Copies of this chain bind each other. A is one copy, B any other.
Amino acid sequence: MIKIALAQRNYHIGNFESNTKKIIESINDARENGADLVVFAELCVCGYPARDFLEFKEFIDYCATAVKQIAEVCTGIACIIGLPTYNLKDEGKDLFNSAYFIEDGQVKAIVNKALLPNYDVFDEYRYFEPETDFNCIDFKGHRIALTICEDLWNTIENPLYITRPMDKLITQNPDVMINIAASPFAYNHDEERIDILSNNAKQYNLPLFYVNQVGAQTELIFDGGSLIFEAGGKLLDEMPYFNEHTSYYTLDKDASGKSTITFDHPHTIKSAHTSDIEQIHQGLLLGIRDYFYKSGFSKAILGLSGGIDSAVVCALAAEALGPENVMAVLLPSRFSSDHSISDAEDLVKNLGCLSETVAIKNITEAFETALQPQFQNLPFNIAEENIQSRSRAVVLMAMSNKFGYILLNTSNKSEAAVGYGTLYGDMCGGISVLGDVYKTQVYDLANHINRDTEIIPVNSITKPPSAELRPGQKDSDSLPEYDILDTILMEYIEHR
């Protein structure tokens, strides 16, 4: 009988001090709570995805130093951590994506990842050599089949890889599977993950402990939701999404020698009860928060037009960073409608964030006057439209430079996909909050934010979308209605 702690944590790429501290504290906590083994996520030591940092020797050396520090405190308990390690053979790439099993201050076993995802957001084969040798780990009367993320992911039809690590490991008669992962959030990914992992627990008839990361890094959000299955595939427990958490489980064998899992805390299966839009909402909050925190920023700025996109971004930023850290700038032009300004003002009032108004009329006129010798009497067209959007960007970036705010981009995925925006204008920003959210989802998000009370003015949600760069302009002058456009984009972008 062993007690296993699953430590679901938020790591920070290249911040070895923070990651190591977090891992060591979790080991100490787990030991105090009577755990025999504490399991962390894939590449937890350096953060995931570390990308080209992996090509620097110093970065790999930092990982090795962290292992020494972690091993030193890992006495009276065992742990599983993930890190890049050198491939000592002459041939093949220089690194493995490894899991270390540490017990009583010593690295007792090393497992390397065999299936290296290199599709969609993944680029692992760029850095890592795939493992071809597989061995179980014996620990206190249990035999553990330890794998890393994608190693369990090759069970689908038309599989991407020609090998299955578990098919090799199962021949050594393990009694439990542990998988450490860095599996990013997508609003439909939680169900897919449960399906695939459940199939493994069923196919190999073994219990399965699955530990994911949580937190945002680069353009990815890791949603946690670590999972525990009994042999046969039944989902026993599910850890929280979008938050750090530790859960404890007792692994034992029954009279027939079959492994069993028991635990004290209430059984929770959250994924079934959380709507897609609530997941997106939580994911975006975590994304904003971690982008600012991990980059060393605290204050955000954005242009508030009175339209739905900037309203939703402003509401999300105020929730993620606190309204006192969000500066909303109204930038009316000669084409801005009265309701745009009043809708923006209402939102600022509802959120309690900071705001300023900078009219751009004199600025755009200065551009038009300066360009008069070149433009002569050519008709007003997209050139003058874009001058407005770009003048706003210059104002926002000037305030960013002067006061240290980071500009939030307010483009949604639909308009970004079709190029309905101004390059160096409304396409500017350090983080694109809605860049992976279709316009129709932005509406859902606005209604979700308003579920208890009107935060986003209803008028911002119900009025026809417009860039307001010429009189009477509407998005539908240039684009299909968004429900049609989004269906097309979804088929093209997500389903190819």
Contact = CB atoms under 8 A, between A and B. Distances in A.
Contacts of A57: 496
A485 B332 CA distance: 44
A374 B91 CA distance: 61
Interface stretch (A165-173, A197-205, A340-348, A379-387): A379-387
12 contacts: A91-B159, A91-B161, A91-B162, A94-B158, A358-B370, A363-B363, A370-B395, A371-B399, A374-B399, A375-B402, A381-B401, A394-B424
A384 B367 CA distance: 17
Contact of A397 (B90, B123, B158, B390): B390
Contacts of A397: 386, 390, 423-424
A458 interface: no
Interface of A: 55-57, 90-94, 118-119, 123, 125-126, 157-162, 356, 358-360, 362-363, 365-367, 369-371, 373-375, 378, 381-384, 386-387, 390-391, 393-395, 397-399, 401-402, 423-424, 428, 496
B402 A381 contact: yes
A363 B370 CA distance: 8
A323 to B, nearest CB: 19
Contact of A356 (B123, B157, B374, B387): B374
Contacts of A496: 55-57
B383 A387 contact: no
Contacts of A90: 157-159
Nearest to A119: B126
Contacts of A125: 118, 125-126
Contacts of A363: 363, 366-367, 370
Contact of A358 (B123, B371, B394): B371
Contacts of A365: 366
A398 B369 contact: no
A380 to B, nearest CB: 10
B386 A358 contact: no
B358 A362 contact: no
A390 B363 CA distance: 13
A374 B398 CA distance: 10
A360 B370 CA distance: 7
A360 B363 CA distance: 11
Contacts of A374: 356, 358, 399, 402
A370 B378 contact: no
Contacts of A157: 90
A160 B93 contact: yes
